[in-house]
């Protein structure tokens, strides 16, 4: 008799440094449920550390991967979830990444997937490859990284990334007024930490974020 695949729960913890009127944050931002190496369910938490923003279940239906998003129903007085209401169902072809270089990345549990999405999107826009990375003549407005303080309408001119031993090691994105850099650390091929640094190109101000993954 074949053994059943092991179920694994991974916590994603988010940290950001406080700046001016914004306090620092350190909380569990996601809870990820895996059946073997496949993500089956995800819960997203708000920055207060207990309130669920939404939850998403992932199911393969034919040749498509369907994400079913649920909105929690709360008993606010007792700070608990009493149930869930289906918000939306989004089904897409079951393809991980369209870019050949990115599709070869194979870290354990594929926790880098959410970080590779931005690179995959930019590479799909046919940038010019140069010795210093990838260039958009005249720039592009990708509306990425707003969660790290990049304005929605900020133009991006170049980006680059490094892949070693089948995992993403670093990437960088140069905007008109900002530079965002990410560094990835692994333990036994499982993504353990992502360090994100945003620098304002008009001054020395920087913002730093860290996102950690650990098995519960």
Predicted pLDDT at 108? 95
Q: Where are the domains of the chain?
A: 96-215
Predicted pLDDT at 93? 72
Cα 203 from Cα 199, distance rounded (Å): 8
Pick the residue with more confidence: 114 or 59?
A: 114
pLDDT in tens, 192-202: 999 999 999 88
For the record, the structure tokens of 66 come out as 């369907």
How does DSSP assign 68-104, residue by residue? EEEEEEEETTTTEEEEEEEEEEEEEES-S-SSHHHHT
Pick the residue with more confidence: 51 or 35?
A: 35
Model confidence, pTM: 0.86
């Amino acid at each position: 008799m074949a053994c059943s695949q092991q179920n694994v729960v991974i916590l994603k913890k988010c940290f950001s440094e406080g700046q001016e009127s914004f306090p620092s944050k350190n909380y569990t931002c996601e809870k990820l449920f895996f059946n073997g190496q496949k993500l089956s369910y995800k819960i997203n938490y708000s920055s207060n550390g207990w309130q669920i923003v939404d939850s998403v279940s992932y199911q393969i239906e034919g040749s498509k991967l369907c994400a079913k998003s649920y909105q929690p129903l709360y008993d606010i007085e007792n700070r608990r979830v009493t149930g869930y209401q289906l918000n939306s169902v989004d089904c897409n072809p079951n393809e991980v990444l369209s870019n050949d270089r990115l599709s070869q990345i194979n870290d354990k549990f594929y926790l880098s997937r959410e970080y590779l999405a931005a690179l995959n999107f930019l590479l799909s826009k046919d940038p010019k490859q140069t010795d210093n990375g990838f260039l958009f003549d005249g720039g592009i407005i990708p509306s990425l990284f707003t969660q790290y303080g990049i304005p929605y309408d900020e133009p991006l001119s170049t980006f680059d990334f490094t892949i070693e031993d089948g995992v993403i090691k670093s990437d960088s994105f140069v905007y008109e007024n900002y530079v965002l850099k990410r560094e990835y650390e692994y333990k036994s091929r499982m993504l353990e930490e992502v360090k994100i640094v945003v620098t304002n190109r008009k001054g020395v101000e920087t913002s730093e974020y860290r996102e950690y993954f650990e098995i519960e």
